[in-house]
Structure 1
Amino acid sequence: MVDQKEVQKVAKNARINLSDEEASKFSEEFDKILGMFETLDEVDTEDVEPSFHPVDVDSTTRSDEKEETLEKEEVFQNTENEEEGYFKGPSA
């Protein structure tokens, strides 16, 4: 069983704040989900070939073409988050 402490640990890693009530609810839901995986583990797949796509898929990609790029001034004209020629992201 996934306990509330484990749910809170996962939530903290995901930077999600959960109340004790929410952690309790998710604990129950995680147990149900893990139970579904246990059911899948019981399926005999001994003689089944792996299948990544149920139908044939053709990967069509465009060719790379060189295009004109923006000047640095144009790139940063609508942001205040620029520092020394780079976009400045939030500090963690």
Structure 2
Amino acid sequence: MIDINEVKRVYSLAKLNIREDELEIMKNKFNTVLEFANSIMEVDTEEVDMLEMVSNHKSVLREDNVEKSVDREMALKNSTDREYGYFRLKKVVE
């Protein structure tokens, strides 16, 4: 279960602001998602054949066209941390 401190931590990592009156609402939403994910993990799939590829799937690929990219400085202008011309990110997963 996620508590309010964890909600604050997630928002901080995402560099988002959250109002105090929204914390409880977001905590409940996060926990609803986690409960749903946990319920999926509890489904017995022992007798279910593995599905490796969907046979009727048609992948329509677009032509790969080279186009003008966003200027590097423009892309990095709101970055709070950069190094060697790239975004520098903190390690999130431990």
Interval containing the TM-score (normalised by the shorter chain): 0.5 to 0.7
Structure 1 runs (4+) deviating above 4 angstroms are 62-65
Structure 1 residues 61 and 46 mapped into 2: Cα distance closer, same or farther (>3 Å)? same
Mapping for residues 1-92 of structure 1, pairs under 5 Å: 1-48=1-48, 49-51=50-52, 53=54, 56-61=56-61, 87-89=72-74, 90=77, 91-92=79-80
Runs of 5+ consecutive residues of structure 1 not aligned to the other structure: 76-85
Distance 1:87 1:12 in 2: 25
The number of residue pairs the alignment matches comes to 75
Q: How far has the Cα of 1:28 moved from its partner?
A: 1.1
> TM-score, normalised on structure 1?
0.61
Q: State percent identity of aligned pairs.
A: 27
> TM-score, normalised on structure 2?
0.60
Aligned-residue Cα RMSD (Å) equals 2.9
